[in-house]
Structure 1
Amino acid sequence: MNPTVVSVHVSAEHGFSKPRADSIELLEGIGVRGDAHAGVTVKHRSRVARNPDQPNLRQVHLIHQELFAHLAEQGHEVAPGELGENITTAGVDLLALPVGTRLRIGEAVVVVTGLRNPCQQIEDFRPGLLRSVLPRDDAGTVHRLTGVMGIVARGGTVRATDEISVDLPPEPHHPLTQV
């Protein structure tokens, strides 16, 4: 399967879920037009409280559709947009990408900055869900499954069914960490 966009989402409110849209417009260096998290500096409330001047490395949130199937197996019915992502993807292992990967999506380019760090809002949305998206392996390592964050390197319109191409950065590759 070629990597594709399953759906796109945007919300001007600082809520948890984002409604589906026909298309979204990515603005270079800003994020998704009309989204509460768009901006040059960080817009996530907890991060603003700590330092409102830090750069916004979380302009665009992408989640892989495959996560929803995984969660359904654990008894959590979650639909695209409900975890607050802007772009739901299929066919690309987002969590395995290194920092700096360029995703060409529709007309736009998103540079992957790191992993989304799930918070208490996920547990408030669905009790038990936080544990499912933050599993620990046998060694005790926590795995963050709720997608990746990125910045917009080239603006443009993104729609469901747009193809995604993955351009890895030069080596050495650095694994994603939370941003």
Structure 2
Amino acid sequence: MTQQQHRPDATPPARVLSVNLGRAEPNPWKNAETTGFGKRPSADRVHVRAPGPKDGGLGSGLVGDHVGDRQNHGGDLQAVYAYGAEDLRRWAERLGRELPPGAFGENLTTEGVDLADCRLGERWRVGSTELVVTVPRMPCSTFRGWLGVRGWLRLFTQDGRPGTYLSVAVAGDLGAGDDIELLHRPDHGVSVADAFRAMTTDRDGAAALAPAGAHLAPGLRELVRAALAGTGREDRLF
């Protein structure tokens, strides 16, 4: 991420390897008629909507990307999903199968970014867009069904590298090959991996997310508030 990379010695530099869009397909694994999980790389640059009156009532996200279950996916806090190419390659080796960009349902397949170490609330510039790290991805039944791997939800959760959702702060266009520039990184120290553990395997440790304060999404905020209840430290969220 230019001069403020998550790993200053990272090779290759932080960039978008692929921008991936999903089309509507049947979803037999969830109480939803369709899914856009099967994402494929776009050969063209893609416009990204920001929330507001100019989103055409569709909400923020990538133009042309289908979201089938809008109750649990999409929305302004989950407008864009990023997953690392390095992690895709690692899973491909572990599972013994090809996992091309988009295989995990990600909009942005990134390279040179340690997404698990990203801080909640950090802000990126990608192409002419600006994106903000919000919450980790939670594995769901569609993810499990699409991959067809026995015990997949457990395996993915134990791995602890879920990728991250991003909100759209500034609308614009992005495409494969764009640099990922880190514009701002909060100093609270709470990472995507920290949040994922608090949401899955270590709910008792949710209080450790409190320093992220205003950068916590509502669901995370409630987890932290519950963990802090009765400790006299509830004001750490503000």
What is the TM-score of this pair, normalised by structure 2? Answer: 0.61
Match for 1:169: what amino acid? R
Percent identity of equivalent pairs: 30
User: Which of these residues, 105, 115, 120, is aligned with residue 99 of structure 1?
Assistant: 120
Post-superposition Cα deviations, 1:122-149, rounded to whole Å, max 9, x if no partner, equal 221221343442226xxxxxx2x23110
Secondary structure in 2 aligned to 1:57?
A: helix
In structure 1, C-alpha distance between the alignment counterparts of 2:164 and 2:133, rounded to whole Å: 7
Corresponding residue number in structure 1 for 2:22: 11
Matched-pair contact (CA < 8 Å) for 1:10–1:24: no
Aligned length: 162
- Corresponding residue number in structure 2 for 1:175: 191
- Which string of whole-angstrom CA distances, capped at 9 and with x for unpartnered residues, describes residues 56-98 of structure 1? 3100011110111110221243111121111110001111111
Tell me whether 18-27 or 111-120 shows the greater mean CA deviation: 18-27
On the 8 A contact 1:71/1:77 being kept in 2, the answer is: no
What are the residue-to-residue correspondences of 1:4-153 with 2, within 5 Å? 4-13=15-24, 14-22=35-43, 23-29=45-51, 30-37=60-67, 44-47=69-72, 56-74=76-94, 75-126=96-147, 127-128=149-150, 129-135=152-158, 143=160, 145-153=161-169
Opposite residue 156 of structure 2, the aligned amino acid is: V
Is 1:164 aligned to 2:180, yes or no?
yes
Q: In 1, are the aligned partners of 2:136 and 2:164 still within 8 Å (CA)?
A: yes
**Of Structure 1 and Structure 2, which has the larger fraction of its residues in helix?**
2
Shift of 1:106: 1.1
Contact 2:17 2:176 in 1 (8 A): yes
Q: Where do 5+ consecutive residues of structure 1 fail to align?
A: 38-42, 49-53, 137-142
Deviation at 1:153, TM superposition (A): 0.6
**RMSD between aligned alpha carbons?**
2.3
In structure 1, what is the Cα distance between the partners aligned to 2:93 and 2:40?
A: 24
Preserved contact between residue 9 and residue 24 of structure 1 (Cα < 8 Å)? no
Aligned residues of 1:111 and 1:152 also touching (Cα < 8 A): yes
The CA deviation at 1:16 is: 1.8
- 2:158 aligned counterpart, secondary structure: coil
- Shift of the 101–159 alpha-carbon distance from structure 1 to 2, 3 Å rule, reads same
Deviation at 1:173, TM superposition (A): 3.2
TM-score (norm 1): 0.80
